[in-house]
Amino acid sequence: MTSGPAEHPGIPILFEDNHLLVVVKPPGIPSQEDDSGDPDMLTLLKEDLKIRYNKPGNVFLGLVHRLDRPVGGAMLFAKTSKAASRLSEAVRSREFGKTYMAVVHGSPSSSSGTLRHWMRKDNKRNVSTTFDKPVADAKEAVLDYAVITSSSGLSLVAIKLHTGRSHQIRAQMAAIGCPLYGDAKYGAPSKRCDSHSSVLLWSTSVAVPHPVTKERLIFRSVPDSKQTGWSQWSEQDLYRASSRFDG
């Protein structure tokens, strides 16, 4: 197991062995190559592995799950094709656990609860639409949420995903009148200057059965309380949000 900073600045390693690589994705970096041509996580980490292990030729690294470009936090990759296959199956069977924290405008009518919608993705506009009932071509989306604290018209919310739909948290929170801070795409009333890091959403944990040993592993990340957007919340509040759905 290896732990420490990756060669590329700003991508700390949470865990590494022969099968898995778990890092902290910085906000503003795409998960994989897109039309922008900007550096992406998959390419940067492949280059890092090639350098650190002096590997000739192409380096394999499997993208197990994605985080939207503006989102930071824990992100897991597979270092072998066998691990990628087994982790993909864990995602399909919902053995892959994911929790997040978000800053939203307003506060949900209930301090905690479950949101269930049906979502349809418009790939041309890169927007997901939510429906209260099943509709054609829409997939069920389910999450649990809990409000940790509220201040100045904003709330810090912990979230546990049960499904992994595109823009799920962003669209579902907006559907109940609580869009994520800075998320103009889903109706937030304000927008920060940097469009690539404008959404206050953080991947606080990923939990998976190890692809070889089958041991249940959990990897955690908490945003820096001094970081823009998160600075109005105390370290204690951020920790409470990150651990709300433990167990």
Q: What is the pLDDT of residues 70-112, one digit of tens each?
A: 999 999 999 999 999 999 999 888 899 999 999 999 999 999 9
**Spatial separation of the C-alpha atoms in residues 76 and 86, rounded to whole Å:** 13
- Give the pLDDT confidence score for residue 4 in this predicted structure: 41
How many Cα atoms occupy the beta-carbon half-sphere of 144 within 13 Å?
A: 11
- Give the pLDDT confidence score for residue 237 in this predicted structure: 96
* DSSP SS3 for 56: coil
Tell me how far the alpha carbon of residue 97 is from its chain's centroid. 11
Q: What is the pLDDT of residues 161-209, one digit of tens each?
A: 999 999 999 999 999 999 999 899 999 986 553 444 579 999 999 999 9
Locate 105 and state its tokens.
């405008």
Which of 177, 196, 186, 67 lies closest to 127 in space, CA to CA?
186
* Other Cβ atoms within 10 Å of 3 Cβ, number: 10
Q: What are phi and psi of 238, to 5 degrees?
A: -65, -40
Whole-model pTM: value is: 0.91
- 7 — pLDDT class (breaks 50, 70, 90): very low
Give alpha helix (H) positions in the chain.
41-52, 81-92, 168-175, 235-243
Rounded to the nearest 10°, the torsion over CA 203, 208, 213, 219 is 20
* DSSP SS3 for 75: strand
3-state helix, strand, coil in the chain (%, to 5): 20, 35, 45
- Give the pLDDT confidence score for residue 190 in this predicted structure: 62
